[in-house]
Amino acid sequence: MRLDHDFTVPASVSEAWNVLLDVPRIAPCMPGATLTEFDGETFTGTVKVKLGPVSLTYRGSGRFVEIDEEARRVVIEASGKESRGSGTARATVTATLVAEEESSTRVDVGTDLTITGRPAQFGRGMLSDVGARLIGQFADCLARKLAGEGDTTGGESSGAAGSGEAAGEAAGGAEATPAGSAEPTGSGQPARSGEHEAGRDVRPIDLFEVTGVREKARRFAPYALASAAAGAVLFAIRRRRRRRNR
Query: What confidence tens digit (pLDDT) does each residue in 2-17 have?
Result: 989 999 999 999 999 9
Q: E strands, the chain, where?
A: 2-9, 33-38, 42-51, 54-68, 73-82, 88-101, 104-115, 205-206
Alpha carbon of residue 156 to chain centroid: 12
Q: Residue 68: pLDDT band by 50, 70, 90 thresholds?
A: very high
Query: By percentage, how much of the chain surpasses pLDDT 70?
Result: 63
Q: What tens digit of pLDDT does each residue of 71-130 get?
A: 999 999 999 999 988 899 999 999 999 999 778 999 999 999 999 988 888 788 888 888
What's the rounded Cα separation, in Å, for the pair 160 and 125? 17
Residues 206 and 231 in one domain: no
Residues 142 and 218 in one domain: no
In the predicted model, is pLDDT for residue 184 greater than 90? no
Count of residues making up the chain: 246
Residues 115 and 192 in one domain: yes
Residues 232 and 198 in one domain: no
Tell me which residue range forms the domain holding 139.
2-211
User: Span 5-32, mean pLDDT?
Assistant: 91
* Contacts made by residues 65-72, CB under 8 angstroms, sequence distance 24+: 67/21, 67/188, 67/189, 67/190, 69/17, 69/188, 71/96, 72/13, 72/17, 72/96, 72/97, 72/98
161: CATH: 3.30.530.20
Residues 120 and 176 in one domain: yes
pLDDT at residue 186 in the model: 37
pLDDT at residue 204 in the model: 83
Residues 85 and 34 in one domain: yes
pLDDT at residue 160 in the model: 35
Query: Who contacts 190 (Cβ-Cβ below 8 Å, separation ≥6)?
Result: 21, 22, 23, 38, 40, 41, 64, 67
Check if the beta carbon of residue 11 is closer than 8 Å to that of residue 19. yes
pLDDT at residue 144 in the model: 86
Lowest mean pLDDT among 20-34, 118-132, 165-179: 165-179
Stronger pLDDT, 181 or 139, i.e. the higher one: 139
H/E segment holding residue 124: helix 123-146
- Considering 36-40, 186-190, 222-226, the range whose residues carry the highest mean pLDDT is 36-40
pLDDT at residue 163 in the model: 30
What's the rounded Cα separation, in Å, for the pair 135 and 142? 10
Residues 234 and 173 in one domain: no
What's the rounded Cα separation, in Å, for the pair 156 and 140? 11
Residues 149 and 84 in one domain: yes
pLDDT at residue 226 in the model: 55
Rounded to a whole number, what is the largest CA-CA distance in the chain?
A: 90
